[in-house]
Structures are given as C-alpha cells and as structure tokens.
Amino acid sequence: MIEIILTVVVGIAIGVLFAYFYFRARVELMAKRLGDEVGQRLFERNKAELDAAFEEKYKGFLEQWKVETEKAFREDALARSRAVLKGAIAEQLAPIFKVFGYNPSDARFIGDPVDYVIFDGYTQVRERKADRPITVVLADVKTGRATLTYEQRRIKRGTEKGLVKFKTIRM
C-alpha cells in the first residue's frame, strides 16, 4: 500500500510540477503579449508626444526662417529693382553726360539688343557744317558691375570683324 501511496504522491508531484511549468509558461506568454501591447501603446504615446513637441519646436524655427528669408528676399528684390531703375535712368540720360562722348543729337535710343545707335557726325552733316562719312557706333550703357550680355558680346565681335553692312531695301 505504501507503494501505491508513494506512486500516487509522485504522480501528484509530477502533475503539480507539470501544471506549474505549463501555467508558468502560459502566464509568461500572456505577460509578454500584454507587455508587448502595453509597450507598443506606451511607445506610440511617447512617439506621438515627441512628434508633437518636435513639430511645435521646428514649426517655430520654420516660421522664424520664413520671416528672415522673406525679409532678405524683399531687400534683395528692392535692391535689384533699384539697380534696374538706376540702369534704365542712366541709359536714357547717358547722352546728356560728358562721359557719353558723342553729340546727343546723333544718338538714337533703341534699348535692345544695344542701347544706342550713334551716327557720329550726323548732325553736322545734316546742318551742312561738314561733308564727311558718318561713323556708326553701337553703344550700350552699363552701370555698376554690369557686363555685356552673351548677345551683346556676339554683336561686338561682329563689328570688330567688320561684319557691318548698309543696305537699301526698296518696296
């Protein structure tokens, strides 16, 4: 009878140990799943908080950058506009300044691709004060650090090579 009792006790002990390890594994698995879900929720909440904080912080930086950049763009645009206006005024008034170097009556403003076609000596020939060939000058007025455009450089090169003609077109 002791053997049966011992066998039953050992069986119960093995069953209890088996049940203990089985339920312990189940509980750990459930805890892990629950922990993963809780951890995930916690992670998402913290991520959302950080995203909101960063968005707010960097929105402020973006707004500040926009204000500063817009101000710089406006100042640059005004400076360029002033330079263009000064250039346009200088182009129109150039013949009245001594630096122009030609009789203002001989100059014809065309604006593009060069500013002036100057018929040097035209006024004297027209008034019959001189009888000589008239020199044709293509002139462009520049202010500041402005340089000739690509097209103007091609025109200059053509005139330097003597690629200038006079033609009568009859209709």
- Parse the chain into domains and list their residue ranges: 1-96, 99-160
pTM, full prediction: 0.56
Q: Report the chain's mean pLDDT, rounded to a whole number.
A: 86
Question: Rounded distance, CA 26 to CA 20, Å?
Answer: 10
The pLDDT of residue 170 is above 90:
yes
Q: Please choose, from the candidates 16, 13, 21, 20, the residue with its C-alpha nearest in 3D space to the C-alpha of residue 5.
A: 13
Least confident piece of the model among 13-17, 90-94, 149-153, 157-161: 13-17
Least confident piece of the model among 48-62, 67-81, 153-167: 48-62
Tell me phi and psi for residue 96, to 5 degrees.
Answer: -85, -5
Note the pLDDT of residue 129.
Answer: 93
pLDDT digits (tens, 9 = 90+) for 59-91: 888 888 888 888 889 999 998 898 888 888 888
And the tokens for 142?
A: 């520049």
Note the pLDDT of residue 118.
Answer: 96
**At which residue do the structure tokens 């346009």 appear?**
88
Residue with the bigger pLDDT between 52 and 138: it is 138
pLDDT band at 152 (very low <50, low <70, confident <90, very high): very high
